[in-house]
């Protein structure tokens, strides 16, 4: 069964002294990627894997300014990642001497997929001020063609640097673990939403799905872009296998209702970020879910006997 969990943690990190002007040197983008790689390596028993894919978002004006050198910027960022990993794995004379006296395994750092992929894009959501940087990284395992599956995301981290002069960026971590898809999966339930353009129902096949507007740093299962009042991560539907019951968690700013009744907030404010507090409400079959009282979804359970199957 595929399981998707999501947690959001707001951290503080100092990368380097920010330049005095709003216009940020291109080298700052590479330094932000390197800082992300160093901070979000994943220790294993015999190695330490680093995120292999990085998407760097900047203000559209910055992309326009750098457009002519983006291929070179990508090449140098990937080269810098390889050099930084080599530096992390290099042993000093003292370390080599200590290893001889006290033998022990010192795992080396490596790219999760064996290679690097860095892309620089304009911020699609209008969240970044001029000079701001948002680094979205993924621990991406290599594909397994013999199983008929693609690459799997293990963890997504986003480092947000403010405009020039802000040396304490915010970091968001989304943890996501998906089992490899099979050729067919069972539909557990459906979320029906008519946007006037004949949008089909969203088929729920996992134990946890997130609904919202989404965005560069906010991956959602069901994207609702009909209104800005809908939060980027507005609500989550959770299935409890033990009780075969569904629950709804409100993650929004403007509220969520179930059958016209506003549900309590499922998170607490924590240092400028969100920390989920475990509050959720039962979600009955046929429930009408209201997102900020502007968008309404209908929740339908698919019976175990008549459960549909869809291609993955």
Mean pLDDT by 10 residues, the chain (312 residues): 31 35 84 92 89 89 92 95 93 64 73 90 80 83 42 48 54 44 71 71 90 82 86 93 94 95 90 81 96 94 53 41
CA distance 252 to 280: 13
Within this chain, do residues 188 and 169 fall inside the same structural domain, yes or no?
Answer: no
How many distinct structural domains can be found in the chain? 2
CB atoms within 10 A of CB 2: 15
Domain limit, last residue, from 151, 175, 199: 175
pTM, 2 dp = 0.54
Within this chain, do residues 157 and 20 fall inside the same structural domain, yes or no?
Answer: yes
Domain limit, last residue, from 156, 175, 194: 175
Within this chain, do residues 264 and 214 fall inside the same structural domain, yes or no?
Answer: yes
Q: Which two tokens stand for residue 246?
A: 């569904």
What is the CB-side half-sphere exposure of residue 230 using CA atoms within 13 A? Answer: 23
Q: Does residue 1 belong to any structural domain of this protein? A: no
pLDDT value of residue 232: 87
Strands (E), 42-128: 42-43, 47-50, 53-58, 108-111, 117-122
CA distance 189 to 187: 6
Would you tell me the crossing angle of helices 26-39 and 70-89 to the nearest 10 degrees? 40
Within this chain, do residues 285 and 189 fall inside the same structural domain, yes or no?
Answer: yes
pLDDT value of residue 99: 61
What sign has the CA pseudo-torsion 18, 23, 27, 29? positive
| Residue span of the structural domain in which 107 resides | 11-175
Within this chain, do residues 51 and 74 fall inside the same structural domain, yes or no?
Answer: yes
Place of tokens 């033998």: 103
Q: Does residue 5 belong to any structural domain of this protein? A: no
Are 235 and 210 in contact, with CB atoms under 8 Å apart? Answer: yes
Q: Does residue 6 belong to any structural domain of this protein? A: no
């Amino acid at each position: 069964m595929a399981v998707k969990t999501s947690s959001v943690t707001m951290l503080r990190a100092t990368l380097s002294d920010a330049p005095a002007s709003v216009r940020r040197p291109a080298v700052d983008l590479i330094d932000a990627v390197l800082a992300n790689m160093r901070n979000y390596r994943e220790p294993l028993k015999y190695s330490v894997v680093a995120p292999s894919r990085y998407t760097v978002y900047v203000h559209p004006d910055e992309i326009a300014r750098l457009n002519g050198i983006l291929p070179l910027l990508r090449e140098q960022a990937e080269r810098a990642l390889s050099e930084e990993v080599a530096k992390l794995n290099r042993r000093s004379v003292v370390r080599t001497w200590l290893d001889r006296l006290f033998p022990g395994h010192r795992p080396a750092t490596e790219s999760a997929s064996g290679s690097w992929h860095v892309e620089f894009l304009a911020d699609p959501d209008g969240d970044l001020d001029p000079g701001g940087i948002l680094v979205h990284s993924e621990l991406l395992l290599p594909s397994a063609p013999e199983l008929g599956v693609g690459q799997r995301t293990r963890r997504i981290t986003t480092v947000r640097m403010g405009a020039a002069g802000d040396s304490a960026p915010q970091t968001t971590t989304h943890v996501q673990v998906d089992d490899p898809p099979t050729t067919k999966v069972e539909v557990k339930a459906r979320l029906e939403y008519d946007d006037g353009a004949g949008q089909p129902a969203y088929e729920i096949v996992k134990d946890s799905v997130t609904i919202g507007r989404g965005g560069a740093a906010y991956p959602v299962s069901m994207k609702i872009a009909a209104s800005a009042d809908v939060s980027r991560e507005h609500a989550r539907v959770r299935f409890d296998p033990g009780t075969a019951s569904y629950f709804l968690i409100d993650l929004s700013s403007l509220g969520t209702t179930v059958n016209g009744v506003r549900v309590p907030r499922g998170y607490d404010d924590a240092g400028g970020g969100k920390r989920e507090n475990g509050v959720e409400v039962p979600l009955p079959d046929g429930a009408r879910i209201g997102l900020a009282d502007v968008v309404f979804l209908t929740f339908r359970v698919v019976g175990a006997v008549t459960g549909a199957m869809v291609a993955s």
